[in-house]
Amino acid sequence: MESKKRFHIVDEKVDAYIKASLAPYSGLLGQVQSDAEARGIPVISHETARLLEIISRAIKPKRILEIGTAVGFTSLLMVGSLSAYGKIDTIEVDPEMAAEADGNFKKAGCSGKINLIVGDAADVLENIDKQYDFIFIDAAKGQYCRYYELCSGMVAANGMIFTDNVLYRGMTASGAKINRRQQLLVKRLREFISTAVADKRFLTDVLSIGDGVCISYRK
């Protein structure tokens, strides 16, 4: 396997400075984040979490769709951005992970605002007929094009799609030698970025923050 240290999106010193400058999350949110990181469960990077929080709070969405719940950290992060009577629909394929997320939602007292759906995201998306003000994608990177195809039409005017991990430790933009599995994943991520940027319904940018973020604003 390729070492993560071979690939960087930004200068390591700059990255370390940004991480050290941002205050940690406290309370249950901080506990969920630190526990997931200690157990090796993939969660959004701290600097990307802050960006996600800022943007979602600025939008004040009525409805949020999240693809990839994991232990529920980002759902807990975004629930505070909801407008009155707002709700989050979040999809998780792993039943054990979903059960842990559900427990965290109950601990936070916000399970009534979060609708947790257990199942394959593509299958679930094919059966959703709703409009969302904010969609957050952080699931199987190789399926990003499929997720985008299925959910981009669900975004309300002035809404947004926020997709994490699109630069894949810099490999998406790197010419370095990588193994065959990584080559396929890079190919699919490049296809996703090209699709999002070319979609005339949206104004899209790609940011070199965390593991790479693609933000698409619905015109």
- Convert the pLDDT of each residue in 196-215 to its tens digit: 999 999 999 999 999 999 99
| Residue among 13, 75, 65, 90 at smallest CA distance from 44 | 75
Local confidence band at 2 (pLDDT 50, 70, 90 cut-offs): very low
The structural domains of the chain, with segments of one domain joined by +, span 7-218
Q: Indicate if the pLDDT at residue 5 is higher than 80.
A: no
For the stretch 115-137, what's the b/e string if a residue is b when 16 or more beta carbons lie within 10 angstroms of its beta carbon? ebbbeebbebbeeeeeebbbbbb
CA atoms of 56 and 82, how far apart (whole Å): 8
Q: What local confidence, expressed as pLDDT, does residue 10 receive? A: 79
Q: What local confidence, expressed as pLDDT, does residue 169 receive? A: 86
CA atoms of 33 and 102, how far apart (whole Å): 15
Local confidence band at 42 (pLDDT 50, 70, 90 cut-offs): confident
Q: What local confidence, expressed as pLDDT, does residue 180 receive? A: 83
* Superfamily designation of domain 7-218: Vaccinia Virus protein VP39 (3.40.50.150)
CA atoms of 154 and 202, how far apart (whole Å): 12
Average model confidence (pLDDT) for the chain?
Answer: 93
| Residue among 20, 65, 68 at smallest CA distance from 46 | 20
